[in-house]
Structure 1
Amino acid sequence: MKDVMELNADKSAWSHLLVLVWPAVMAGSLAMYWWLIGPMAMSYEMAIQFHFLGLLVGIFILELIIPYHKSWNKYDRQGWNDFLYNITFPAAQIGATAVALAVVGAQASSGSESLFNLNLPFVLELIIMTLIVDLIWYICHRSFHTLPMLWKFHSLHHNSHQLHVLNNARVHPLEVFTFFLPIMLVVLVIDVPPALLNWYFAFQLTVGLLTHSNVAVRSGWLSYIFNTPELHHWHHSQIRDEHDNNYGSVSMIWDHIFGSYLNPKDRMASKEIGVSTYVPEGWFSQLWAPLKRSSRAKVPTQSVVDK
């Protein structure tokens, strides 16, 4: 299949169909989730696992058919590590949820004053929750970029020199825990209904896998609202002035508000991605590296001018 550079130059009807990829995957993903918890009557715990596997397979196939960059489909010798991170990622989320439940417990809002007990339309409640959670995500994510102690952990995620659906979860478990603990604490305190929370995480999972995929898309105006692959390619740039932007998880509202939205119209993000901070090859070594005082994973200083 053609590389994205060839597709952008191609004036055929096929190239214009790329605008349908993002909404089609999103619609198909949410339809699959509805089917699992509705007609299939699965529990949330079981449904989210099948939902994840279905997305993983579907996006992997798209990466083979319409790759953003064909060179990103080459094996990068981190496959086993990525597999392990796809196990520790949800484990850390579960751990953060357990701690949040232990901390909040019976002190969670019982009801009437919660935004989510006013019988608002479901879609409006989902939008409100997305904005709240994304604000917490934004603060955490930006902190992991700007504070050297936290960058030692986050540099693992930015060390990849190619994006594909498996390395979405290439994140240190302590970072995952740090992101999700405040999110779950707030979710419990404001008494978000479980059904709403489950739908949000199904939506967030789809966005996360898509943004880290090697699938050619043209998101257009959707990139002003949602986190899309085109925006996230800038976030994984080797240049600090570029990768210190687009921090949102699902929406881009907080990036617009705080001035960290980057989406140039005159050029595409380079396919040469990944910062050059030191990250060892072995999985256990990667987990241990940021805990060492002598870790060399410092916040990069390269700018657009330096490039």
Structure 2
Amino acid sequence: MNVAFRIENVLFAIALGAFLLLLLLEKWHPHRKFSARRLRQSFSTNTSAFLFNTMTMNIFSATSLLLIASNYSHYGLLSHFNNNLFKLIFSFILFDFAVYVWHFFGHKSEYLWRFHKIHHSDKSIHVSTGLRFHIVDQFFEVIFKCLCTVIIGVGAHVVIVCELLRMLFVFFHHANVSLPGEKWLSYVVITPSLHRAHHSTLRSEHDSNYGIVLAIWDIVFGTRKELAPKKIGLELAEAENFVQLFSLAFVTEARFARMLHLLPRLGATSTRKRAANFSSD
């Protein structure tokens, strides 16, 4: 227990240090230059969302994962294995695949997308974009992870270690930096250049590269795209502060367009398809 606790503290310190280091690298050698005003606005909105989500969700999230893992993980696939390095690595691989699946459906489900698109609404991608999420999106994700904890069958502290490692990589692949040898590294883990395509304004481009840590899932399931997007963010929506960011999920682009009579009155099937396109672009 004490060893696991120390590992969690070390990983948290590494993730925090990586966040600060990436901020400095972005300032010194940015991959793409954004205006100072846009960066300040984005950073302020992202950190506000993070602080609100953390205060609201942290206790629930950590408590839920620990409670579920402590009481129900003995039913899972890996429950009969000893808590060793093999189990930690295999658990991490399975968790990473599970989050890939969740991310995929976050784009394909119109209902889930209305909350996940908050993350994509940032028109400048940088390390703090990894903090930009809607609280409802995080709530659903915690429920999904609790279910995965039971199915996979891992202990509570293994789950926390997996979460901290994942947070470290989320900071990394959102960073506005270029790395030497990144093309080859991108066949092992998700890199900034790969994830940049995932934040493209075009749906045909941002419906790709769903991986969080390991690159193998996008390769195996054919969702990998290597490209440099011309524009970042959502085309019809922009949030300049935390309140607008939170509200964006409840006023879809399609509904807003209909309110302004920008969409013709089509048949039910055509209207639904058109609305889905507006909500996803």
* TM beyond 0.5: yes
What is residue 224 of structure 1 aligned with on the other side? 187
Amino acid at match of 1:243: H
Q: CA deviation at 1:84?
A: 1.4
Alpha-carbon separation, structure 2, partners of 1:58 and 1:196: 26
Question: Which moved further from structure 2: 199-208 or 56-65?
Answer: 199-208
Deviations 1:118-147, CA, capped at 9 Å, x for gaps: 24751x333322332123212221222122
2:229 to 264, 270, 273: 270
SS at match of 1:151: helix
Amino acid at match of 2:193: E
Deviations 1:140-190, CA, capped at 9 Å, x for gaps: 212221222222212221121211111211110111121232113322454
1:68 paired to 2:31: yes
Q: How does 1:217-296 map to 2 (within 5 A)?
A: 217=179, 218-263=181-226, 268-292=227-251, 296=256
Q: CA deviation at 1:257?
A: 2.6
Deviations 1:26-73, CA, capped at 9 Å, x for gaps: xxxxxxxxxxx97xx8584x6565444322211111112221113376
Alpha-carbon separation, structure 1, partners of 2:94 and 2:35: 34
Alpha-carbon separation, structure 2, partners of 1:177 and 1:80: 22
What is residue 78 of structure 1 aligned with on the other side? 42
| Structure 2 length-normalised TM | 0.76
1:95 to 56, 60, 68: 60
Distance 1:202 1:281, change over 3 A: same
Q: CA deviation at 1:86?
A: 2.2
SS at match of 2:163: helix
Alpha-carbon separation, structure 2, partners of 1:105 and 1:53: 25
Distance 1:43 1:134, change over 3 A: closer
The count of corresponding residues between Structure 1 and Structure 2 is: 257
Q: CA deviation at 1:198?
A: 3.4
Alpha-carbon separation, structure 1, partners of 2:172 and 2:117: 20
1:174 paired to 2:133: no
What is residue 9 of structure 1 aligned with on the other side? none
Question: Which moved further from structure 2: 56-65 or 181-190?
Answer: 181-190
Alpha-carbon separation, structure 2, partners of 1:72 and 1:280: 16
Distance 1:88 1:256, change over 3 A: farther
Q: CA deviation at 1:82?
A: 1.3
More helix by share: 2
Alpha-carbon separation, structure 1, partners of 2:158 and 2:228: 35
Alpha-carbon separation, structure 1, partners of 2:21 and 2:66: 34
Cα RMSD for the two superposed structures: 3.3
Structure 1: gaps of 5 or more residues: 1-36
SS at match of 2:34: helix
Check whether the contact 2:22–2:172 (CA below 8 A) recurs between aligned residues.
yes
Distance 1:272 1:280, change over 3 A: closer
Amino acid at match of 1:98: T
